[in-house]
Structure 1
Amino acid sequence: MKTLVCTTPGQFEYQLGQMPALTPGNAIIKIKRIGICGTDLHAFEGTQPFFAYPRILGHELAGELVEFDNAPGFTVGETVTFIPYFNCGTCIACRSGKANCCTDIKVFGVHIDGGMAEYVSVPSYSLIHGEGLSEDELALVEPLAIGAHGVRRADVQPGEFVLVVGAGPIGLGIMEFARIAGANVIAMDINENRLDFCKNKLKVHHTINAAKEDVNEALKTITNGDYPTVVIDATGSLRAITNAFPYMAHGARYVLVGLQKGEIAFSHPEFHKREATLMSSRNATRADFEHVIASMKKGLVDPTNYITHRVDFGEVKDEFKGWLDPANGVIKAMVSL
């Protein structure tokens, strides 16, 4: 079985791995699609927290169910995806319905080897029915679920102004589900091509280029002086996270979906006088996956909009580094097996 291993930051190597054997409570999937996400890119760069090398990356996946144990309702040969955050089921988070932040979580492709392989073994409880969606669509359910979870954490209400900082794939998903929740979405980035994508493909009416515009003035104009009641960071950039604290309206919620390695510092008086709420948003839950799939089936989200680059599995090693260069215009690279 062919695998692609990130041996050290900046280095990939194709290797022959052992074919997974069926074990109790698990399922074997023949991988058909692999979406490349920010986590994979950051791992390749060496900037991803919670990470050790060597590692097989990949957790945005779709494939054919080959074998399974204890997966009632599933059939051999059906197209599936799965929730790639494997939880213990017994800790305080799991008992509270927050398996997405289990104290002993094992994220596929991060804490344990992932899906850049011809076959994988995953817990049967993580399986998700394909619901008639294409392999491309199913491979994009997971990143969209990250966005849907961030919006749910923010408790976005119809008519609110929601500022999404970062127009990468996760930020785009946040914008989509904030729109579905009825919000007035404001996209902010420093990449004009990404902002054009937001306007032309996602129909985001308000965009701000933070490198070219006075952000405070732009926000005041868009929100009639109120500022956004929800700010969601999808950059993982310490500078962007820190800079966004003053963009909150009084009483606003600030949700950190992006992740960086350092500490965050902000003005306590400015934060306090707003009676603001700061929260993190980690991974996603089954309910978020189901919300994404239902939204796709209703035509509320077209995930194929995001796919800008396609390669075969054998080309990933040579092409991967180029996906880090903003000049190449990558929104989402999709790998076929």
Structure 2
Amino acid sequence: MKAIQITAPGELKVVEVNKPVMKDDEILIKIKYVGFCGSDLNTFLGKNPMVKLPIIPGHEVGAVIESIGKDVPAGFEVGMSVTVNPYTNCGKCASCRNGRVNACEHNETFGVQRNGAMGEYLALPWSKVIPAADTTPRDCALIEPMSVGFHAVSRAQVTDIDVVMVIGCGMIGMGAIVRASLRGATVIAVDLDDEKLALAKQVGAAYGINSGTENLHERLLELTGGLGPDVVIEAVGSPFTYRCAVDEVAFTGRVVCIGYAKSEVSFQTKYFVQKELDIRGSRNAMPADFRAVAKYLQQGTCPKDELISKIVTPENALSAMEEWAANPGKVFRILVEF
């Protein structure tokens, strides 16, 4: 079958690989769309230390069920639209024992620690296949990245009385904005791009702040009555945004970090104590987060077309990645159509 492989930094090509053989407890899915995410871009640029090349990228999947193993329980049907939970969990580490399988110490994500989904077929355990019958396969490819933002909102324990600042309006940040808004919170979106801020308002943000052209601190004080946001969700992964989250969050606030900073970050640690902050990491997503995103997409209020920057064939994937690398700030999601 046809698949996409990143063979070396800056090199991506279409290859032929064996079609997977389905086991009795597995489901064979026909891949329709796979999204390129930021980790795939870093892999392409040679900046992803968790990846060993060559690798098949991709873990944002929109597919249909091709066939079903004989030991798979009821609830799955041939032709059904599905997405994929692309993480593994060992069942033995501290995270798994505590029921937080999304943060498994030994997790292997598709396209990162193991070959991903960017091929024509994929066979995987039925428990990793998430039905989304009323969602198109194209839109199913949006579920995984948005679910990461949904999970961060759960980690922040957001309620309807909170003011939530989301730093970074990429796909994951958009997911956080949507989920916080659905919970009734007042959401402030922060980014450097006015187009992304406009889209953030479409999905639920009450306010947008361009931190490149506006004084972020003063605007936050103005919007929060001088208190600062109750929750800050960091969805960028830079030393500046990490420090900003701690500096701007309200006293006794919660900071949830999704982004991976590429270098060490120095903090005024007095704020940890003076503000009595809760600082939490947020990794991947839980099955419930996937289901919640699928439910949201089925409501028909999401501007899905605006979240998809481009749809390309496997043969055009290299040029699409090169364009994204040259101008990363202007891309939400590039989907590869099989």
Name the TM tier (shorter chain): over 0.9
Q: CA deviation at 1:24?
A: 4.4
Work out which of the residue numbers 113, 118, 123 in structure 1 matches 2:120: 118
Q: Which amino acid aligns with 1:41?
A: L
In the TM superposition, residue 328 of structure 1 has moved relative to its aligned partner by 7.9
Distance 1:14 1:171, change over 3 A: same
Q: Does the 8 A contact of 1:180 with 1:300 survive in 2?
A: no
Report the equivalent of 1:68. 68
Corresponding residue SS for 1:243: helix
Which residue number in structure 2 is paired with residue 329 of structure 1? 330
Matches within 5 A, 1:26-65: 26-65=26-65
Residues 136 and 304, structure 1, Cα contact 8 Å, conserved in 2: no
- Counterpart selection for 1:107 from 97, 109, 123: 109
- Give the match for residue 285 of structure 1: 286
- Mark the runs of 5 or more structure 2 residues left unpaired by the alignment: none
**What TM-score do the two structures reach when normalised by structure 2?**
0.94
Given that 2:103 and 2:283 are in contact with CA atoms closer than 8 Å, whether structure 1 keeps it comes out as: yes
2:247 matched to which residue of 1?
Answer: 246
Distance 1:319 1:126 in 2: 29
1:243, distance to aligned residue in structure 2 (A):
2.9
- Across the aligned residues of Structure 1 and Structure 2, the Cα RMSD in angstroms comes to 1.8
Query: Identity, % of aligned pairs?
Result: 34
TM-score between both structures, scaled by the size of structure 1:
0.94
Aligned to 1:152: 154
Once the two structures are TM-superposed, the CA of residue 67 in structure 1 deviates from its matched residue by: 2.8
Q: 3-state SS of the aligned residue for 1:61? A: strand
Residue 134 and residue 242 in structure 1: after superposition, are their counterparts in 2 closer, same or farther (change >3 A)?
same
Tell me which residue corresponds to 1:226.
Answer: 227
Cross-structure match for 2:275 = 274
Whole-Å separation in 2 of the counterparts to 1:54 and 1:293:
32
Query: CA contact under 8 A between 2:33 and 2:336: conserved in structure 1?
Result: yes
Give 1:8's aligned amino acid.
A
Counterpart Cα distance in 2 of 1:286 and 1:154: 17
Cα deviation per residue 1:191-238 (whole Å; 9 max; x = unaligned)? 222223223x32523111111221111110011101001000111222
Aligned residues of 2:177 and 2:204 also touching (Cα < 8 A): no
Q: How does 1:147-226 map to 2 (within 5 A)?
A: 147-199=149-201, 201-226=202-227
SS at match of 1:137: helix
Residue 137 (structure 2) aligns with: 135
Which of 76, 98, 106 is matched with 1:96 structurally?
98
Q: For 1:75 and 1:49, how far apart are their aligned partners in 2?
A: 39
Distance in 1 between residues matched to 2:174 and 2:240, nearest whole Å: 20
Distance 1:242 1:45, change over 3 A: farther
> Is 1:308–2:309 an aligned residue pair?
yes
Shift of the 68–260 alpha-carbon distance from structure 1 to 2, 3 Å rule, reads farther
Partner of 1:18: 18
In structure 1, the gaps of 5 or more residues are: none
The 2-side partners of 1:249 and 1:193 are apart by 28
Q: Do the aligned residues in 2 keep the contact of 1:40 with 1:58 (CA within 8 Å)?
A: yes
Farther off after superposition, 217-226 or 49-58: 49-58
Give 1:38's aligned amino acid.
Answer: G
Looking at structure 2, the residues matched to 127 and 203 of structure 1 have their Cα atoms a distance apart, in angstroms, of: 29
Q: In 2 relative to 1, CA 38–252 (structure 1 residues): closer, same or farther, beyond 3 Å?
A: same
Query: Is the partner of 2:123 in helix, strand or coil?
Result: strand
Q: How many angstroms does 1:300 deviate by? A: 5.0
Deviation digits for residues 138-196 of structure 1, max 9, x if unmatched? 11111111111000000011031111111111111111111111111111111222223
SS at match of 2:105: coil
Q: Which residue of 1 aligns with 2:2?
A: 2
Partners of 2:251 and 2:328 in 1: CA distance: 38
